[in-house]
Structure 1
Amino acid sequence: MTVDQISSVADRQGPAPSAGPARTTDRPRTSFTARRHRAFYMFTSPWIIGFLLLAIVPMAYALWLSFTTFDGISPNWRYVGLGNYRELFSDSVTWESLGRAGLFAVTSVPLSIIAGLGLAVLVNRPLKARGLFRTLLYLPAVVPPVGAGIAFKTLFDQNSGAANGVLTLFGFEALGWMADPYVRYVLLMTVLWAAGNVMIISLAGLQDVPRELHEAARIDGASAWRTFRSITVPLLSPVLLFQTVTGVIASVQTIMPLLLAPLGTTGGVTTVPQSNYLYMMHVFAQYFALGRYGYASALLWVLFVLILIATGLIFKFTSGVVFYNVDPEAKK
């Protein structure tokens, strides 16, 4: 077939169909994606606005305050740059209170996790009135911290508290629970008393453990402790990691000592039991007892950085022992 014949055939058939209409098929998809994006931002906008106004803006304001001598009232303040931070790193009281907060975290977090996990294992068994036991054990966790602090302060009062009443009933001497060194034990008891929150999270993790693994271990002759240590705990490791991180963050920010012992000032020095003078107690004293808003803001920003470092270290050192039960197909 010659070139002229091919051209004549092409002319008779007319122009090739245009590919334009095929592009229109992408328009509905693009429009649907845009609507989904708009719906997402519309529904999340209350949280985003609240986060900006109630978290980012206050944090930025506190950061600005940390470079000033503002006292919250007087307009006569000045910019001091890193002066507050230099004073902070040279203040022995700050480091002592930080050390007590760290010791409290190292002590209270493992105890609360162990207590909560033990209660979860107990109420996960097929017992009668199991729902009632779960409710009763969880109730202390929903009690407001102020009410819990007042209750423990009344319970361990040296003169009229029930704790000393029991001691004197058995012939022991009444103790000053709200003074050193016993007040630290009262603080630990308040943490363990509210272990119901840890119990609920651990219980949810226990119910997610496949029963087939326990049955296979039982058939192989493994003891209950061996099954718990080799199967249950590894499968609960993500839950335990979550509780460790949140527990450390909550423990170093505790303000419960204010409710266990009276707060006062004598000659500009905060008078509380030394064992209860934790880091957040020091921040509270700088803010409200001494009116040093700039210095207290610097204390809070240092605590924020230390919490970030502690969280990063926890994730780093637990990366090899945390087991995530993920379907291999889900990773693809």
Structure 2
Amino acid sequence: MTVGQIPEVAERPRPAVRTRAAAGSGDLPRTSMTARRRRAFYLFTSPWIIGFLLLTVGPMAYALWLSFTTFDGISPNWRYVGFGNYSELLTDSVTWNSLSRAGVFAITSVPLSIIAGLALAVLVNRPMKARGLFRTLLYLPAVVPPVGAGLVFKQLFNRDSGAANGVLNIFGIDAIAWLDDPYARYVILMSVLWAAGNIMIISLAGLQDVPRELHEAARIDGASAWRTFRSITVPLLSPVLLFQAVTGMIASVQTIMPLLLASKPGPQGVTEIPQTNYMYMMHVFAEYFALGRYGYASALLWVLFVLILIMTGLIFKVTSGVVFYNVDPEAKK
């Protein structure tokens, strides 16, 4: 070996390294990662799944079975009538009148609630002092329990001691029987609009998701505030408005608590309900608990369920061309 040469070192054999991939199958866990994730998913969602099966699917299946019987909840002498209950409701004028009132109430209350909630959201979205306080105060009615809200409105519009008639008396106007026909419907509508804070919060979240760059570009182009709101804000809020329309429609046709609280006891303990407030769910309530016709009332509920599905599908069909979703172009790839 001369100077400057590096002595050759004999290459020694390297010990074999056992990796998890090369190791025997006994070193791997028997359960794959996918199976672990599936098990964790069902473990964490099991409370909801069990509750959904026991408290939703089970009662719905039981109500479906009842709708084919004459069961009254007490007597063991019931019989299977097939589609007899459904045939009866098709010719029941009371059912159709109550359904039409519920439809009119939905057509009236849902757009007004959405407009009121959106207007409040635009108002509290502007920079102002104590903006958080105003948001809280406007949202508070939405968290009041329905029973409490109903009792407040019933006392507020009481004919003899209500504050509404007290204000009218100041201006020399005679007291109005707000809880009787034809004014009862307006009291219920005002109670719904009073709780528009829930819609306000959802609309406010949608407003804050609208890119400011679009408003700035419209302002540079000389667009007015109304044109910017109509051409930019509303189209980008269309998914939120669609959600509110669907959920509002479902909630409005199922309205019952304000109607019950607005009723008053009549002679011989019979509850008097204004004709304008006798909507579909009030009819279901009367068939269940006043007349004890569990089978017929269950048929009414299942018809309502089918009608809600149909109306939801129609809303999606009609609004398919006017609802725009803000999707990232990169997400489509």
Report the TM-score, using the length of structure 1 for normalisation.
0.90
CA contact (8 A) 1:140 1:193 kept: yes
The answer to whether the Cα contact below 8 Å between 2:263 and 2:271 also exists between their aligned partners in 1 is no
Give the Å deviation of 1:272: 1.0
- Is 1:257 aligned to 2:259, yes or no? yes
**Partner residue in 1 for 2:295:** 294
Say if 2:59 is the partner of 1:69: no
Residue 13 of structure 1: aligned partner: none
In structure 1, the partner of 2:230 is 229
User: Which string of whole-angstrom CA distances, capped at 9 and with x for unpartnered residues, describes residues 132-176 of structure 1?
Assistant: 000000000000000000000000000110000110110111100
- AA matched with 2:117: G
| Equivalent-residue separation in structure 2 for 1:305 and 1:170 (angstroms) | 49
Distance 1:22 1:265, change over 3 A: farther
Check whether the contact 1:238–1:323 (CA below 8 A) recurs between aligned residues: yes
Gaps of 5+ in 1: 1-19
- 1:193-249 deviations in whole A, cap 9, x for unaligned? 000000000000000000010011001000000000000000000000000000000
Query: Offset at 1:271?
Result: 3.4
* Residue 95 of structure 1: how far off its partner (Å): 0.3
The answer as to 2:312 corresponding to 1:304 is no
How far residue 266 of structure 1 moved from its aligned partner, in angstroms, is 7.8
- CA RMSD between the two structures: 2.1
Q: 1:137 to 1:262 in 2, by over 3 A?
A: same
What SS does structure 2 have at the residue aligned with 1:311?
Answer: helix
> What is the aligned partner in structure 1 of residue 7 from structure 2?
none
Within-5 A mapping of 1:1-332: 31-255=32-256, 256-262=258-264, 271-332=272-333
Judged with a 3 Å threshold, the aligned counterparts in structure 2 of structure 1 residues 22 and 102 are, in CA distance, closer, same or farther, namely farther
Q: Tell me if the contact between 2:263 and 2:272 (Cα under 8 Å) persists in the aligned partners.
A: no
CA contact (8 A) 1:205 1:236 kept: yes
Task: State the 1:331 CA deviation.
Answer: 2.2
User: When the two structures are aligned, how many residues end up with a matched partner?
Assistant: 312
User: Structure 1 residues 44, 90: CA separation in 2 closer, same or farther (over 3 Å shift)?
Assistant: same
Rounded Cα–Cα distance in structure 2 between residues aligned with 1:147 and 1:23? 67
Which residue pairs with 1:7 in the alignment?
none
Give 2:6's aligned residue: none
1:265 offset after TM fit, Å?
8.6
SS in 1 for 2:126: coil
Instruction: Compute the displacement of 1:264 (Å).
Output: 5.8
Q: How far is the alpha carbon of 1:75 from its aligned partner?
A: 1.1
| 1:328, distance to aligned residue in structure 2 (A) | 1.9
Q: Structure 1 CA distance, aligned partners of 2:213 and 2:253? A: 40
Kept in 2: contact 1:158–1:175 (CA 8 A):
yes
